[in-house]
Amino acid sequence: MALILSLLLPVAALPSAAAAQDDVPVGEATNAVAQAIRGQVGGRLKDFYRARGYWPLWIVDDRPGPQAEALVGVIESVRVDGLNPDRYSPERLRRLIDEGQDGNPRALAYLEVALSGALGNLVRDMREPTIEIEYLEESLKPKRLRPEEVLRRAALAKSMTDYVRNMGWMSPLYVQLRAALPTTAPDDDRDVPGSDVTVPRGPLLKPGMTGERVMLLRQRLGLADGGTYDAELRASVRRFQASRGLPVDGIAGGQTIAALNGEGGASEDRIAQLRLNLERARLLPDAYTRHIVVDAAAARLWYYGGGAEQGTMRVVAGTPETQTPMMAGLVRYATLNPYWNVPVDLVRKRIAPKVLAGTSLERQGYEALSDWTHDATVIPSASIDWQGVADGTVEPRVRELPGRGNSMGSVKFMFPNDHGIYLHDTPQKNLFAKADRHFSNGCVRLEDAPRLGRWLFDRPLTPDSSQPEQHVPVPEPVPVYLMYFTASPSETGRGVKYVADVYDRDSLALQHLASR
């Protein structure tokens, strides 16, 4: 999605990466599987494998690695994502995994190419947006990922198995919301034989185990009577897990048992809310892309990089009348010792009455400017018709001077846009203790602006002097996504937090999704 350039990084420290031409023989150190891959791979995948000496992603010690099984498990659960698992042929992939267990190089190469093709198609489809926001930069607009780009990113992961199992190609916000859907899925099997059976909680139930809980599990899934956790039961558990979006491992753990027993269910409205916010999270890049996410609904911010969340903080977002918009831009510079251009309505309501009562503009910490252009000059406040300002017939430009009480605080982070929206510090720290933090005119006030500055610049941000408006460019512009999640991961990291639809956006968005 964002910043495709990051997907094009070279794959470092891979064996036999020197093989870059078809006529260059595979090195002696390269195993027979790599040679077989070279003979089988074609199309867009060939360039990827050729650049890495045809070294496999999915084969470990001449056997299918655990990442292969992890991918099939993810594929079997993608109905949660609005996708059809059959498109990615999970049964065929499982058959190929079984055929590769004897270490035959040709079988393993065939499996390797099939898994890579499936991953490329899956990631492309899962990243396809269904909701639109405003993109301030062309580079941030979603692009259909090519299979070789998907594989390059996957090859950079420290653990391929973890990358696949945790769907590292998606935003962590997406993955966490997705995980909430299984326990809130509607009970759509009430008429299935055994659906009235309850399986008691207890230790994990695994293949090969016996006992009363295994017998009840078989009954709950409508299988023939028996007390053994056999291959048939494992297959049935896997199908149930896939239908609920649970990890597909064929093991009946606490989450699977709870879903079987219909525990933790939620209303259709709550499920629809979760799915809507899942679609919003689909717009976000993965955590390997350095970026910032602002959630205007819950008034919260996260920042990501290196494959993980690197920090979070509370924010103050726009009021229902002055909403923070949904859009994506690039933070390009910070402004230290900033001015604050006061909105004309606040000049009329708050400043003009004080001037008319005898408190000068300067004593209030403001100054007037000649116009709204970049070249505006400071003018005497006495030259302004303040009664006209109070009456609404005169609209001067007034800005607050830098200082401890300045509404911008000590710094603002700028991503160019026509809405006048940016992230900034604030002296009003008391607002962050409130549950509802919608007080701004649309901009985003930061609980800890210095911390975000250190993350953006990799050093503390300090002004060179008391000079106003010191602009400091970000070494590498960072994407920022202003989003709106009425369901999002809780601040404790466990479960989902639901918040009020303060901007009244969900109903229209749900109608839009239903019409697709």
The CATH code of the domain that includes 474 is 2.40.440.10
Listed in sequence order, the residues at least 6 apart from 3 whose beta carbon sits closer than 8 Å to its beta carbon are 139, 140, 285, 289, 479
- Residue 443 is a catalytic residue: yes
Over the range 208-226, which residues count as b (16 or more CB within 10 Å of their CB) and which as e?
Answer: ebeeebbbbbbbbbebeee
Q: Is residue 486 part of a domain?
A: yes
User: For the residues 72-87, what does the mean pLDDT come to?
Assistant: 93
**Among the three residues 239, 264, 289, which one is the final residue of a domain in this structure?**
264
| 163 and 89 in a common domain | yes
Domain count, the chain: 4
In this model, does residue 163 exceed pLDDT 50? yes
Q: Is residue 175 part of a domain?
A: no
CA pair distance 59, 109, nearest whole angstrom: 9
Summarised one tens digit per residue, pLDDT across range 277-306 is: 999 999 999 999 999 999 999 999 999 999
| 439 and 496 in a common domain | yes
Q: What is the per-residue pLDDT for 22?
A: 39
Q: Is residue 328 part of a domain?
A: yes
This prediction's pTM: 0.79
Q: Where are the alpha helices (DSSP H) in 186-265?
A: 212-220, 231-244, 254-260
Which range among 237-246, 262-271, 372-381 has the greatest average pLDDT?
372-381
Q: Which of 291, 374, 419, 424 is catalytic?
A: 424
| 488 and 411 in a common domain | yes
Q: Which of 374, 419, 438, 443 is catalytic?
A: 443
Summarised one tens digit per residue, pLDDT across range 115-130 is: 999 999 999 999 999 9
In this model, does residue 7 exceed pLDDT 80? no
Q: Is residue 500 part of a domain?
A: yes
**Among the three residues 367, 400, 433, which one is the final residue of a domain in this structure?**
400
Listed in sequence order, the residues at least 6 apart from 393 whose beta carbon sits closer than 8 Å to its beta carbon are none
Its domain, for residue 14, covers 4-169
Summarised one tens digit per residue, pLDDT across range 463-500 is: 999 899 999 999 999 999 999 999 988 776 667 888 99
CA pair distance 67, 327, nearest whole angstrom: 35
Q: How confident is the model at residue 181 (pLDDT cuts 50, 70, 90)?
A: confident
Return the axis-axis angle of helices 32-40 and 105-126, rounded to nearest 10°: 60
| 237 and 331 in a common domain | no
Q: Is residue 174 part of a domain?
A: no
Q: Is residue 64 part of a domain?
A: yes
Beta bridge partners of 60: 63
| 370 and 252 in a common domain | no
Q: Is residue 449 part of a domain?
A: yes
For the chain, the straight-line distance linking the first and the last C-alpha, in angstroms and rounded, comes to 21
Q: What is the per-residue pLDDT for 266?
A: 54
Which range among 198-202, 303-307, 338-342 has the greatest average pLDDT?
303-307
Alpha carbon of residue 113 to chain centroid? 28
In this model, does residue 364 exceed pLDDT 80? yes
**Among the three residues 372, 400, 428, which one is the final residue of a domain in this structure?**
400
| 277 and 386 in a common domain | no
